[in-house]
Chain A
Amino acid sequence: DAKTTQPPSMDCAEGRAANLPCNHSTISGNEYVYWYRQIHSQGPQYIIHGLKNNETNEMASLIITEDRKSSTLILPHATLRDTAVYYCIVRGYGNKLVFGAGTILRVKS
């Protein structure tokens, strides 16, 4: 599975959009981009995933560049409860989900 690169940490003001970038320049055609988050002392939580089209659900939006070498997770109105470690994962066919270092997002009031 392709590796990902994320900034180690980011800050965001409460109520503003949080935009979390992820680089995955070695992604191959059949690999999906997944986002999970882990709030302190809890298990990871699935957020969203996509292949090449932009995706939106009740939690977030996922924007994937046309060349698929990078993506951005958008939390439209961040709250204090969104403070967590966010993991961008590229995953191919099969059942192996491998976590990278992730981005610590701190939402501040």
Chain B
Amino acid sequence: DTEVTQTPKHLVMGMTNKKSLKCEQHMGHRAMYWYKQKAKKPPELMFVYSYEKLSINESVPSRFSPECPNSSLLNLHLHALQPEDSALYLCASSPLDLGLNTGELFFGEGSRLTVL
């Protein structure tokens, strides 16, 4: 299984809603990532988890809250978002050696979020 599965594929939410994006992989990868991609722009790194611990936060606003409950799952909790947060949210995973160096990233198909 070389897939990264993201759910839901599409999400529409109001600015007062609380929702979550989910990501799952069964490749035994110990690094997992969240990226945000606006239309016609490259993906932007948001968060990196290494061995279920948050290792990188690219100064993301607190209305985005990541969670890694176990080595196969990664969540992104959303609360009080703004319309400008509408984007494609991509999850990725990669192998991780003991030196914290990583191999290639495997990406999911993304969750397209619309904030009204």
Query: What are 5 A-B contacts defined by CB distance under 8 Å?
Result: A43-B107, A94-B102, A96-B56, A97-B33, A99-B44
Which one, B45, B55, B99, B104, contacts A46 given CB within 8 A?
Answer: B104
Is the beta-carbon distance between B42 and A87 smaller than 8 angstroms?
yes
Which residues of A43-67 are within 8 A (CB) of B?
Answer: 43-46, 49
In this assembly, does A98 line the interface, its C-beta being within 8 Å of a C-beta of chain B?
Answer: yes
In this assembly, does A95 line the interface, its C-beta being within 8 Å of a C-beta of chain B?
Answer: yes
By the criterion of a CB under 8 Å from any partner CB, how many residues of chain B are at the interface?
A: 26
A43 to B110, CA, bound (A): 6
In this assembly, does B100 line the interface, its C-beta being within 8 Å of a C-beta of chain A?
Answer: yes
Show the binding face of B for A, using Cβ within 8 Å: 4, 31, 33, 42-45, 48, 50, 55-56, 90, 92, 94, 96, 99-102, 104-110
Chain A residue numbers with a CB within 8 Å of B94 are 95
A95 to B97, CA, bound (A): 10
Q: By DSSP majority rule, is chain A's interface helix, strand, loop, or mixed?
A: loop
> Other CB < 8 Å A-B pairs besides A95-B48, A95-B102, A99-B43, 5 of them?
A42-B109, A43-B4, A94-B100, A95-B33, A95-B96
Which one, B31, B90, B101, B104, contacts A43 given CB within 8 A?
Answer: B90
Q: Smallest CB–CB gap between B32 and chain A, Å?
A: 10
Chain A residue numbers with a CB within 8 Å of B100 are 94-95
Chain B residue numbers with a CB within 8 Å of A102 are 42
Chain A residue numbers with a CB within 8 Å of B44 are 99
In this assembly, does A76 line the interface, its C-beta being within 8 Å of a C-beta of chain B?
Answer: no
9 nearest CB pairs, A to B: A43-B107, A99-B42, A46-B104, A95-B102, A44-B107, A99-B43, A95-B31, A43-B109, A43-B108
Considering the complex, give the chain A residue whose CB is closest to the CB of B42: A99
Cβ proximity bits A67-100 to B, threshold 8 Å, 1 near / 0 not? 0000000000000000001010000011111111
Q: Which among B43, B90, B92, B106 has the greatest number of chain A C-beta atoms within 10 A?
A: B43
Q: Smallest CB–CB gap between A36 and chain B, Å?
A: 8
Given the interface pairs A43-B92, A44-B90, A101-B42, the reply to whether A95 lies near B50 with Cβ below 8 Å is yes
